Amino acid sequence: MLSVIFIWIYMIGTTFFVGYGVLRFLTRHLAYPAEKKGADNAGDSDCAVVGRLSHDAYGADAYVMCGLVGVTVYAQFFSLFAGVGLWANVILCAACLVIFWRERKAISETLKGRLPSRFKFCTVILLFLLFAYGTSRGIPHYDTALYHAQSIRWIEEYGVVKGLGNLHCRLAYNSSSFALSALYSMAFLGGQSYHCTAGFLAFVLAGGCLRLIDSLRERKLYASDFARVMCVYYLVNIFDEMISPASDYFMVLIAFYLVITWLTLAERGEKEIFPYALLCVLAVFLLTVKLSAALILLLTIYPACRLVREKRWGQAGIYLGLGFATALPYLIRNVILSGWMVYPFTSLDFFNVVWKIPKGLADYDAREIQVWGRGYSDVTRYDISPKEWLPDWFRGLAGSDKFFLLAAVLAVAALVVWAGYCFWRRRSFALLTAQGTVALSFLFWLGTSPLMRYGCVYVYLTPAVVFGGIYAAVMEAGQSRAKNSKGKGLAVGGIARRTAANYCVCAAVVLILVYKAFALGRGIITSYENNYWISQKDYENFAVESCEIEGVTFYYPVEGDQTGYDAFPSAPVRPQIAFLGEGLADGFRAAEVEKMEINKESYE
C-alpha cells in the first residue's frame, strides 16, 4: 500500500503539471477565461442550474485528467523509439519542472482559489487511503496474466516491436492504457512492476463524485448527479478488481468522467465551445483505450455544429489537430504491432508489410470477440440472428444487470419522445447530445459484442442521463409554473408536490449510497488480510514450459493459457513465428504464412 501511495503522489504531481501546462497553452490561444461568473453563462439552456456558481472553468480533477491524457500520448510516442522506463520518467520530470518554473505564480494563485473546505479535504484524504488500500490488493483480472502483463512488459523493455501480434494476437490490441501503466510501473527501479494506474483513475472519479453531496444538501438533483450515483455503483463493484491494468476499467472510468463533466457543463448553461471541444478530444483518447467506445465520438456533433455555424475555422483546425495528435501514436503503434491500421478489423487495409498478421487470423479474432460477448465460444455462431442468441444471453445476466438493461431499453424509447419535445421547445442541444450519444452507444454495444464489462457504462448511464434529465426538467418546469401561477393555492400545492418529490428522490439516492457503502465495508472486512502494506500485490505467475526459436527462449503455459509477467517473452501456446532480424527488438512475422491454418484451439 505504501508503494501505491508514493506512486500516486508522483502521478498527481506529474499529471497536474502537464495538465496545467496544456490547459494554460490552449486557453492563451483559444481565449477561454479561467474565471467566470455563473450569471454570464446562464441563459443558453432551460436546464441551467440556478444558483450554482461556475467560478472555475475547470477544477483540479480537470488538470489531472488532462495531464493523464498528455502523459499517455507522450508515453506512446516515446515507445516508438525506446522502452518506456527510466529515461521516459526523467524527461517527464524535467518537463514538469519547466512548467512549474514558468508558471509558478499562476499555479500558486490557481491552487489558492481552489482550496476545498475542511470537510471535503478530509474526505478526499480518506478516499485516497481507501482506494490505495484497494489497489494494493484484490483479485487480478483473468486477462492480466493472459496478456495485460506481457503487453506492459514489452512496452517497458522495448517500446513497440514490429509484428508483436504474431507472437500472440492479443499483444496487438494496443490499448493506450498499457503505455500509461508502463510509464508509472517503476519497473526500472529493479523491484516489481507496479500496476496502480487503474486504481488512481478510480480515485479521481471518486473525488469528482463528492459533488453529489452539494446537490443532496440543496435537494436538487440533475442528470449529472444520477450519473454520479451510477459511477459510485461501478466503483464499488470494481473495488477488489482495480488492481488489474485492464483496459476495460480505464474505458469505463474515463467514459463516466467524460459524460458527467459534459452534463455538468450543459446544466450550468456553459455557452463556450472550448470545454466541450476538449471533452471531444478526450473522446478521441477514449477510442485509443478501447475500440468499443467508438460511438462516443458522436459528442463531436455539438461543438462541430457550433464551430461551423459561427465560422470559427481557425479554432476548428486547432481542435482537429489536437484530436489527430492524440490518436496519431496509437495508429502508428497499431501498424507496427500488427500491420493493420485498426486491429483486428481488416476493412482498413493500407499497408503491405512483411510482419502483417494474416488476414484470416485477424478476421477470426474479431469474430471471436463478438461471439464471446454474446456468451458463445464457437466462432461459427458469428452470424446467427439476435432471435437466437439474445434470449440465452439475457438469461445469463446477473439480476441487477437485467434490471439496468431493461431500464436502458425503456430509456432509449423515452428518449425518442423526449428528443422530439426538446427540438419543439428548443431546449439544450448540449444535454440532448450527451443523452443521444450514450443511448446510441448502448445500442451499438448491444448489437455487436454485449459483454457487460465491455459496455456496462452505457447500460448504467443510459437510464441515468435520460430519466435523470427528464426528472430535472419536470421539476424545473413545475417550479416555473408555481412561480408564475396567479392562484396562490395552486402555487403552494405545486411547490409542496415538487418538494415532496425531491425529498423522495434524494432519500432514495441516499439509501442507494448507504447500501453500497455498507456492501463495500462488508467486502473489505470479509476479505481482509494483514499483508501488502508496503508493496503492492504482484502479478500472478504460472508454471511454464520453454522452447527456443533462432536461439531465443520463449515460454508457454504448462496448463491453460496464462503465463503472467515473469516468464518473458511468452504466449498462450507454443509460438509459430520467425524473426525479422537478429533479436527480439527487430520483430516477428508469422511462420510460413502461406501454409498457416487457423486453428481454433490454438487461438482461443
Within 8 A by CB and 6+ apart from 456, the residues are: 234, 252, 401
Residue 42 has pLDDT above 70, yes or no: no
Average pLDDT over residues 197-201: 96
Are residue 474 and residue 570 in the same domain, yes or no? Answer: no
Cell of 118: 475542511
The per-residue pLDDT for 58 is 55
Per-residue confidence band for 597, with pLDDT thresholds at 50, 70 and 90: very low
The per-residue pLDDT for 484 is 61
Cell of 348: 482498413
Dist CA 115 CA 139 (whole Å): 36
Are residue 597 and residue 470 in the same domain, yes or no? Answer: no
Average pLDDT over residues 548-571: 92
Contact between residue 199 and residue 184 where contact means Cβ atoms under 8 Å apart: no
Range of the domain at 595: 544-603
Within a domain: residue 8?
no
Dist CA 390 CA 383 (whole Å): 13
Within a domain: residue 287?
no
Place of cell 450554482: 52
Mapped onto helix, strand or coil, the DSSP state of residue 474 is helix
Identify the domain boundary among 478, 500, 526: 526
Per-residue confidence band for 260, with pLDDT thresholds at 50, 70 and 90: very high
Are residue 505 and residue 554 in the same domain, yes or no? Answer: no
Average pLDDT over residues 256-270: 92
The per-residue pLDDT for 539 is 93
Identify the domain boundary among 492, 526, 560: 526
Are residue 575 and residue 447 in the same domain, yes or no? Answer: no
Quote the strand ranges of 107-160, DSSP E: none
Are residue 493 and residue 562 in the same domain, yes or no? Answer: no
pLDDT digits (tens, 9 = 90+) for 279-338: 999 999 999 999 888 899 999 999 999 999 988 888 899 999 999 999 999 999 999 999
Number of domains making up the chain: 2
Are residue 452 and residue 560 in the same domain, yes or no? Answer: no
Cross-strand pairs, 553: 548
Are residue 590 and residue 487 in the same domain, yes or no? Answer: no
The per-residue pLDDT for 371 is 86
Are residue 548 and residue 480 in the same domain, yes or no? Answer: no
Angle at 276 between CA 274 and CA 280, to 5 degrees: 110
pLDDT digits (tens, 9 = 90+) for 443-452: 999 988 888 8
Dist CA 473 CA 476 (whole Å): 5
The per-residue pLDDT for 339 is 93
Contact between residue 43 and residue 235 where contact means Cβ atoms under 8 Å apart: no
Are residue 427 and residue 395 in the same domain, yes or no? Answer: yes
Kindly report the three-state secondary structure assignment for every residue of 136-163.
CCCCCCHHHHHHHHHHHHHHHHHCCCCC
Within a domain: residue 460?
yes
Within a domain: residue 409?
yes
Dist CA 487 CA 58 (whole Å): 43
Within a domain: residue 467?
yes
Per-residue confidence band for 259, with pLDDT thresholds at 50, 70 and 90: very high
Within a domain: residue 363?
no
The per-residue pLDDT for 340 is 93
pTM: 0.91
Per-residue confidence band for 595, with pLDDT thresholds at 50, 70 and 90: very low
DSSP assignments along 398-440, one per residue? -HHHHHHHHHHHHHHHHHHHHHHHHHHHT--HHHHHHHHHHHH
Within a domain: residue 22?
no
Residue 192 has pLDDT above 70, yes or no: yes
Are residue 501 and residue 472 in the same domain, yes or no? Answer: yes
pLDDT digits (tens, 9 = 90+) for 414-436: 999 988 888 777 777 889 999 99
Contact between residue 231 and residue 211 where contact means Cβ atoms under 8 Å apart: no
Are residue 488 and residue 597 in the same domain, yes or no? Answer: no
The per-residue pLDDT for 37 is 41
The per-residue pLDDT for 57 is 43
Separation in Å, CA 570 to CA 84, 195, 587, 588: 20, 19, 14, 13
Q: What is the mean pLDDT of the chain?
A: 86
Are residue 550 and residue 522 in the same domain, yes or no? Answer: no
pLDDT digits (tens, 9 = 90+) for 470-519: 988 887 766 666 566 554 544 445 555 566 766 777 788 888 888 878 88
Within a domain: residue 255?
no
pLDDT digits (tens, 9 = 90+) for 388-413: 888 888 988 888 899 999 999 999 99
